[in-house]
Every structure is written in structure tokens, then in C-alpha cells.
Amino acid sequence: MIKIYTAPSCHSCRKAKEFFEKEEIPYQEKNIFVTVLNDEELKDILTKTENGTEDIISTRSKIIKESGVDVNNMTISELIAFIRKNPSVLKRPIMVDDTKLQVGYNSEEIRVFIPHEKRMREWACKKTECPTYSKCGN
């Protein structure tokens, strides 16, 4: 199941949810300001990043700027505690499934969450090339 970590006023979060709804892909939304992320969720997100905290932490965040904390020098436990206490430091949306992570909305990159079978049907059955396009489910 895909989890989307969102914030209510986030335009990119709304676009991501619209994408999943349009594609009829089930997801679980977690508002980071209502639901406190648990240690396992944060560890899962961190292990799927390519560049560690750089991928998920907004250095432009007011809390980061005012407190002067250096998240790169924190232990994992300190980082998790910091994020749990200050969820606004997270970039949004964060979309994650069993193997993939995407931070922010990108209309091309988000397509990796479309199930393989559906992507193959779309690829094989283009509107201009398929006499049964309307029956293909596209």
C-alpha cells in the first residue's frame, strides 16, 4: 500500500492525491501535522532515500533556520526525535511503498507507482494504434 505523507495546505500534496485517485491507485494518507510519524515509518523513509536527510528535510524550514541545527550531524535516534517534534521540516508530499520513495510531486516520476501491468497496457495500447482502445481500460 502506498503511503502519502501530506500537509493540508500543500498544493503538491493535493496534486499527488489527485493523480492516485485518477489512476485508481489505492493509498493511505497521513497528515504529518495530525498523525505523529512513528519510528518505523521514519526509518523506512530514511532507508529509501538516495541522499539521506537532503532528500526529505527542508533546509529552508523556519525551524532549521532559527535553531541552527545540523541534521547531518545527528544520530538516527536524534534525527527521528527531531522530526517527530518538528514535522514541518519534512518536504512534502512524501510518497512511499514497499520499494520506492518519491519526495515532492513530479508528474513524470510519480508514474513509477502505477502498477506494472497497467503501464504495460498503456504502452501496448496507444489510442492511435489500437482498434479496441476504448475497451483497453485506458
Give bridge partners of residue 101 from the DSSP assignment.
96
Lowest mean pLDDT of 11-15, 64-68, 89-93, 100-104, name the range.
64-68
Neighbours of 123 (CB within 10 A): 8
**Which grid coordinates belong to 8?**
493540508
User: Could you tell me the pLDDT band of residue 131, with boundaries at 50, 70 and 90?
Assistant: low
58 close to 48: Cβ distance less than 8 angstroms: no
Count of domains for the chain: 1
In 3D space, the residue among 29, 26, 24, 28 whose CA is nearest the CA of residue 8 turns out to be 29
3-state secondary structure of 53: helix
**Which grid coordinates belong to 122?**
498503456
Rounded-to-integer distance, Cα 94 and Cα 105, Å: 9
As annotated, the active-site residues are: 10
What is Dmax (Cα atoms) for the chain?
A: 61
30 close to 4: Cβ distance less than 8 angstroms: yes
Domain residues for the domain of 67 are 2-135
CATH code of the domain covering residue 27: 3.40.30.10
Q: Percentage of the chain surpassing pLDDT 90? A: 72
- The cell 532507508 sits on which residue? 47
